[in-house]
Structure 1
Amino acid sequence: MPEVEIGGRFGRLYGWLDWPARLVGLNLLWVLGVLAGLVVGGLGPSTQALYVLERDYLLGRSPRMWRDFWSAWRANLVSSQPALGVPLLTVWVLVFYLLAARGTPVVYGIAVVLFLYLATLMQLPAVLAHMDLSPTQAWRATVEVAWRHPVATLGVALLVAVLVVGAWFTTPAALPLLVPSLPVLLATLAARRGLPPPPTED
């Protein structure tokens, strides 16, 4: 039986209806990828693979979820360690100082710095997925991309915080199914505003 192609508004609506199941599937793959790298070694390549696949979906490509996720995971297994490992370690350092400063006025300044840092860091894997850069170059490019449109960057960070906190207090069971895949989708959408057009595929 031939496939029926749906165009126009209904086609776009049909495409968006695919996203909930897609995000759940990607999230489960991300968890498997983290576990495959014994957590510490798997966090970077799994996160990078997640960004690569969501970028491809947003570009209208048709990646094969299982095959392309593990292909991207293997391709980024080594390179993602310095590119994402050091920034993620910095997050834990800031969290440590935040907890240590509880009850003092300094805690507000650290909280602001941590929020701005996380808002920027969310777009780092999107830049790495789009351009082949060294870790230092990627971080510089991420700062430029993220703060070229500060309203979008801050808006996405606030929206992610609201969604995560809201889900935690209302439907905590949804968190393992949609985090980090949903925040990654929002961060990728925000980063696309400041990235150059992707190369065309032959």
Structure 2
Amino acid sequence: MSAVGTPARDDLAVGGWAGRVMAFLRVGTQLVGVNLLMVLGTLAGAVLLGLYPALSAGGSLLARLASGQASEHLWREFWAAYRADLRRLNVLGAPVTVGAVLLGLDAAALLAAPSGPARAALTVAVVGLAAYLLVALATLVPVARRYPASAARTWRFVALAPLLSPLTSVGVLATLVLVAVLVSRVTVLVPLAGLSLPLLATGWLVDQRLTALDQRLAGTDAA
């Protein structure tokens, strides 16, 4: 037992160079661990039924990591979050799945289309739909975690968010491009953090925007 007024050894923060190295290693370990859990969670739900609960559970752990309150029990807390909202998250993810199917059909049509104005227009549509779906999914994960609203109310917000928050949307897309470039150059990151790294970065951006909106609404209500 430590003396009165003296912090216990476990509460002492390691500072300096060693502290920075330990913090870096902790972040890296959590990224790899959460990435592995999301892969397992996706496979546990036969991919289609496991993807959205896995992203949500992983996103929750990564949000804690970004806030400096990293989980001490990744395995237990991931599966608890995964099971808690399994049905709701699959309902919320259904529009994204439909959009992905439409995107695949459009991409197949694009590959078969002859050169010309029609192909150019179809290219714009495919790129636009892909960008919209990526931003919508990046928005859906934090929104579903923060607000226990119905699927209809959640999607009313998520569907408009890419248009009503253009700077955040651009930031999300730019972040995804940067992560894609990074993992293409450092391919070992694909199996280690291919899901967790972009989810951490985009989740942080969206969370900042949601926090700002919450504060604005709180100020309006107070007035």
TM-score relative to the length of structure 1: 0.83
Spell out, residue by residue over 1:36-63, the C-alpha distance to the aligned partner (whole angstroms, 9 max, x if none): 1122211121111011111222333342
Which one has the largest radius of gyration? Answer: 2
For the residues of structure 1 that align with 2:182 and 2:14, how far apart are their CA atoms? 35
The letter of the residue matching 2:150 is S
Higher helix proportion: 2
Partner residue, 2:124:
109
Partner residue, 1:158:
174
The letter of the residue matching 2:9 is P
For the residues of structure 1 that align with 2:161 and 2:20, how far apart are their CA atoms? 27
For the residues of structure 1 that align with 2:17 and 2:159, how far apart are their CA atoms? 35
Contact map agreement 1:44 1:85 (CA 8 A) in 2: no
Contact map agreement 2:171 2:205 (CA 8 A) in 1: no
1:21 to 2:52 alignment: no
Aligned residues: 197
Q: Percent identity?
A: 26
Which structure 2 segments of 5+ residues have no match? 1-7, 216-223
For the residues of structure 1 that align with 2:186 and 2:74, how far apart are their CA atoms? 27
Partner residue, 2:107:
98
Which structure 1 segments of 5+ residues have no match? none
For the residues of structure 2 that align with 1:39 and 1:105, how far apart are their CA atoms? 33
1:46 to 2:54 alignment: yes
Give SS of 2:210's match: coil
The letter of the residue matching 1:167 is V
Give SS of 1:105's match: helix
Partner residue, 2:137:
121
Pick aligned residue for 2:200 from 185, 197, 202: 185
The alpha carbon displacement at 1:174 in A equals 2.0
The 3 A distance-change label for structure 1 pair 61 and 165 is: closer
For the residues of structure 1 that align with 2:103 and 2:68, how far apart are their CA atoms? 38
The letter of the residue matching 1:2 is R
Give the CA RMSD over aligned residues.
Answer: 2.7
TM-score relative to the length of structure 2: 0.76
Pick aligned residue for 2:86 from 70, 77, 85: 77
The alpha carbon displacement at 1:149 in A equals 4.0
For the residues of structure 2 that align with 1:151 and 1:16, how far apart are their CA atoms? 29
1:2 to 2:9 alignment: yes
Contact map agreement 1:148 1:194 (CA 8 A) in 2: no
The alpha carbon displacement at 1:12 in A equals 7.2
